[in-house]
Amino acid sequence: MAAIFSGAVSLGGPVLVQAAAPASLRVQVVDASGVPVRDAVVELRSTKTSLGAIRFPWKMGMAQKGRQFTPGTLIVAKGSTVAFPNLDNVRHSIYSFSKPARFEIDLYGRDQTRTHTFNVVGSVKLGCNIHDEMRGYIRVTDTPFAGKTDHNGYVTLTGMASGGATLTVWHPQIRSPSGESTSAMTVTGGVQAHKLKVAVR
């Protein structure tokens, strides 16, 4: 009996092929001095197109709490409707002048929620008409392989196929007009580590 292995074999019978295991990519984002960059959005786009709807495990919600946007950066799939619950004792009025989503939500109070649908890929900067110090960001993506770095600058992406890919890092302080840094890479399969150095303000 022929063993099944990575590759193919024919012993006068059918060719047996074992599918390669999905890859796992651990990325660390650091600045020019090697200091980890927290809350950077890392996106991987494979040359092999992914099919089906994109679903992330976190809630599609950007709350206002303590006169801050929570979370400060939220990743959503293109076409997602995001909830904006007000958990403060004061009213908020949310707006964005960003090209991917120009909108304004009128004043609303505690325990009320408003929503907005994000149909264009890109970065959306949020503000509040009442509280100028409030800043939040929504990153709208078209790839299921996306995540946000932790306090050590790490994020792990899983499930992508091996092959050529483009890795994009976005953060509001990256020194580029779009806040992005993009590089080409090859996903080799299995567990893989990648370190990216970006220039930040």
Name the superfamily (CATH) of residues 51-142.
Cupredoxins -  blue copper proteins (2.60.40.420)
CATH architecture designation of domain 22-50+145-201: Sandwich (2.60)
- Per domain, the residue ranges of the chain are 22-50+145-201, 51-142
Q: What is the pLDDT of residues 136-184, one digit of tens each?
A: 999 999 999 999 999 999 999 999 888 999 999 999 999 999 999 999 9
Q: What is the pLDDT of residues 35-74, one digit of tens each?
A: 999 999 999 998 776 668 899 999 999 999 999 999 999 9
Residue 30 structure tokens: 């650091």
| pLDDT (mean) for 115-131 | 97
**What is d(CA 31, CA 188) in angstroms, rounded to the nearest whole number?**
25
**C-alpha dihedral (120, 125, 127, 132), degrees to nearest 10:** -160
22-50+145-201 and 51-142 share one fold: yes
pTM of the model: 0.86
